[in-house]
């Protein structure tokens, strides 16, 4: 994480110091420096106990070394756990990391605004059973509820907006700097009595929370509200797919249609159309025809922020031919031109 984000200064800097821990800060990419074994070399050389990174880093490593051959070249006996944060951790990436490292892979969920974890697996107190795809359960102080569009709580297993019942616990944002009206409009007005997280998901029967997408990424296909995150899970499970993103593009008939962007594992030499056909069939089989998932294209890389978040909203604007502002935190602006070219091959991103 950039040090400007809350993870950067809390988890990287003062929280470890408060506990007397040594922090090893790595700046750079986890692949190509010189290979996909960079993280493993660091763990070996510095006896690192806990690795904290974004899922996108592990997807990049998995793409370059899908069989984990570089893992065996280093002594990783010091590693006790892997923590993932910053974006949704897809089940396929978590499973790969668990299989390769043999340590607990702990996802957790929070926001810069909240100051610390909303949902987590508190290893330092008591390790909870890991449910792949879930950051576990709300931590003390957080009354997390799933709401429908009218602001009513929904049944377990039902997708909705993730909100926190007020009051918020200590340590969270009390306002926005010189922008009290914007603070109330952005977080408090949509669901009176709640803090709106801007994320969509559901809670299961055991109280485990699942973050499926930003609420902006829940798309409406012919009146059906569908999670792009659920479709991404299906795409990511394909053996040739290293990383993916699903966005909702405007459609005159259905309102929106899902469109998939696929990054393939290194060494995959198959015809791209074959992979596309297979993932389209998988979404139809696992989610159903209601998803109307028929559009997908293979790209070399996805546009991301420096902390690893995929810029889905920017891709939607490009696909729909709308003006957009270049995100200040983008890792490599040139990727947007690559994405535009790929979308144009499907008949979108018309200038």
Q: How far is CA 118 from the centre of its chain?
A: 16
Kindly report the CATH number assigned to the domain that includes residue 336: 3.30.300.30
CATH number, residue 198: 2.30.38.10
- Residue 306, pLDDT score: 82
Could you give the CA distance from residue 11 to residue 17 in angstroms, rounded to a whole number?
9
Judge whether 118 lies within some domain. Answer: no
pLDDT at 26: 87
Give residue 224's Cα distance to chain centre.
23
48 & 143 share domain: no
- Taking phi first (over 0 means left), then psi (-120 to 50 degrees means alpha), and beta for anything else, what does residue 307 get? alpha
Query: Which CATH number is 48's domain given?
Result: 3.40.50.980
Residue 186, domain member (yes or no) = yes
Residues 146, 142: Cα–Cα separation, whole Å: 13
The verdict on residue 128 lying in a domain is no
Pairing, β 50-53 against β 81-84: parallel
User: Does residue 13 lie in a domain region?
Assistant: yes
Q: How far apart are CA 278 and CA 211, in angstroms?
A: 26
Whole-number pLDDT of residue 87? 80
Same domain membership, residue 196 and residue 159: yes
Q: Are residues 36 and 70 in the same domain?
A: yes
What is the per-residue pLDDT for 1? Answer: 67
236 in the same domain as 168: no
Among 107, 127, 162, the domain-final residue is 107
The domain total for the chain is 3
Question: Both 282 and 186 in a single domain?
Answer: no
Domain stop point among 164, 192, 212: 212
Q: Is 308 left (phi over 0), alpha (psi -120 to 50) or beta?
A: left
- The Cα diameter of the chain in Å comes to 59
Note down the domain range covering 190.
Answer: 138-212
Pairing status of strand 81-84 against strand 160-165: unpaired
Q: Please tell me whether residues 200 and 239 are part of one structural domain.
A: no
Compute the residue count for the chain.
351
Tokens (6 digits) for 12: 């990287």
Last residue of a domain, one of 212, 237, 257: 212
- 201: β partners: 160, 211
The answer to whether residues 205 and 253 belong to one domain is: no
Q: Are residues 229 and 206 in the same domain?
A: no
Residue 236 sits in the same domain as residue 330 = yes
Chunk the chain into consecutive blocks of 10 residues (it has 351) and report each block's average pLDDT, rounded to whole numbers.
75 88 88 94 97 90 94 97 87 93 93 91 92 95 96 95 96 93 95 96 97 85 86 95 95 92 96 98 94 96 88 95 91 94 95 69
Domain membership of residue 328 (yes or no) is yes
Is residue 71 in some structural domain?
Answer: yes
Domain assignment present for residue 42? The answer is yes
> Would residue 125 count as lying in a domain?
no
Integer Cα distance of 224 and 288 in angstroms: 12
Same domain, yes or no: 81 and 181: no
Specify whether the CB–CB gap between 133 and 90 falls below 8 A: yes
Q: Are residues 77 and 178 in the same domain?
A: no
The backbone torsions φ and ψ at residue 347, rounded to the nearest 5 degrees and listed phi first, read 90, 10
The Cα–Cα gap between 328 and 305 comes to 8
198 and 244 co-located in one domain = no
């Amino acid at each position: 994480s950039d040090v400007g984000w809350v993870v950067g200064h809390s988890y990287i800097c003062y929280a470890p110091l408060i506990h007397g821990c040594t922090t090893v800060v790595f700046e750079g990419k986890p692949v190509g420096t010189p290979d996909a074994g960079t993280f493993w070399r660091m763990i070996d050389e510095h006896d690192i106990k806990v690795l904290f990174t974004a899922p996108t880093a592990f997807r990049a490593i998995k793409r370059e070394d899908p069989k984990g051959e570089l893992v065996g070249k280093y002594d990783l006996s010091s590693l006790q756990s892997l923590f993932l944060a910053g974006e949704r951790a897809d089940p396929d990436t978590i499973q790969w990391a668990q299989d390769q490292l043999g340590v607990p892979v702990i996802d957790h969920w929070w926001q810069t605004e909240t100051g610390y974890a909303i949902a987590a697996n508190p290893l330092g107190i008591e390790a909870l059973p890991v449910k792949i795809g879930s950051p576990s359960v709300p931590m003390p102080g957080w009354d997390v509820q799933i709401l429908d569009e009218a602001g009513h709580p929904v049944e377990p297993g039902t997708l909705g907006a993730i909100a926190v019942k007020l009051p918020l616990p200590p340590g969270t944002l009390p306002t926005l700097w010189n922008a009290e009206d914007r603070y109330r409009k952005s977080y408090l007005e949509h669901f009176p009595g709640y803090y709106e997280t801007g994320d969509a998901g559901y809670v299961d029967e055991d109280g485990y929370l699942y973050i499926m997408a930003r609420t902006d990424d829940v798309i409406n296909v012919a009146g059906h509200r569908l999670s792009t995150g659920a479709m991404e899970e299906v795409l990511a499970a394909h053996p040739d797919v290293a990383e993916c993103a699903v966005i909702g593009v405007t459609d005159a008939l259905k309102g929106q249609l899902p469109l998939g962007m696929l990054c393939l594992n290194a060494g995959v030499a198959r015809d791209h159309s074959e992979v596309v056909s297979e993932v389209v069939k998988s979404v139809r089989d696992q989610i159903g025809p209601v998803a109307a998932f028929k559009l997908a294209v293979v790209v070399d890389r996805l546009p991301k922020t420096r902390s690893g978040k995929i810029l889905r909203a920017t891709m939607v604007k490009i696909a729909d031919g709308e003006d957009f502002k270049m995100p200040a935190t983008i890792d490599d602006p040139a990727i947007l031109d690559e994405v535009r070219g790929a979308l144009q091959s499907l008949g979108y991103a018309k200038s």
